[in-house]
């Protein structure tokens, strides 16, 4: 017996597009590239993990509660090794090079620490939570509101043109 998940977008719809949502490759945890985190973990004796916000080639990003300040923060856990350290060094350089009053629109870390991974240490950047993941917001709009793909493309183009 096979599961029937229904049709989200009809094949006959000329505006149909493929929708996929995936998580990061599990093997990147097994080989030590990503740092394994579970909901409820506490990092740096301070940041309790609440939810995964996203991932990319060089990091995973988690919503956490700062138990000292009682505020929500985003923890960007960089991959182990030189690739992760490059991102940290670039952000550090930007922080040191640009005057504080001229950083509007930049999302830079507020604090940084390291956690020991399977083979190497992982740098963790503590950042402000700035808003929802646009990819997931648009996907949810497609699935729940049944809007057409061309409308999402138009929204993306308008948003990118208004960005600072």
Binding-site residue ranges for ATP? 76
Provide the annotated binding site. 76
Structure tokens at 60: 């995973």
Question: Which residues lie closer than 8 Å to 28 by C-beta, 6 or more apart?
Answer: 34, 79
DSSP assignment of 96-157: HHS-GGG-TT----SEEEEEE-SSSEEEEEEE------HHHHHHHHHHHH---HHHHHHHHH
Strand order in the sheet with 42-43: 42-43, 47-56, 59-66, 71-78, 121-127, 111-116
């Amino acid at each position: 017996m096979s599961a029937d998940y229904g049709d989200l977008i009809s094949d006959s719809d000329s505006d149909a597009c493929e929708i996929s949502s995936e998580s990061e490759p599990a093997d990147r945890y097994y080989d030590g590239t990503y740092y394994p985190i579970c909901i409820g973990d506490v990092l740096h004796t301070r940041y309790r993990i609440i939810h995964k916000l996203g991932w990319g080639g060089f990091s995973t990003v988690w919503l956490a509660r700062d138990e000292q300040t009682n505020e929500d923060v985003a923890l960007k856990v960089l991959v182990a090794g030189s690739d992760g350290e490059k991102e940290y060094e670039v952000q550090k350089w930007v922080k040191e090079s640009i005057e504080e009053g001229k950083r509007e629109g930049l999302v830079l870390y507020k604090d940084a620490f390291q956690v020991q991974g399977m083979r190497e240490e992982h740098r963790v950047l503590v950042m402000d939570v700035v808003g929802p993941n646009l990819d997931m917001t648009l996907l949810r709009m497609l699935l729940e509101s049944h809007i057409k793909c061309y409308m999402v493309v138009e929204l993306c183009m308008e948003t990118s043109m208004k960005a600072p």
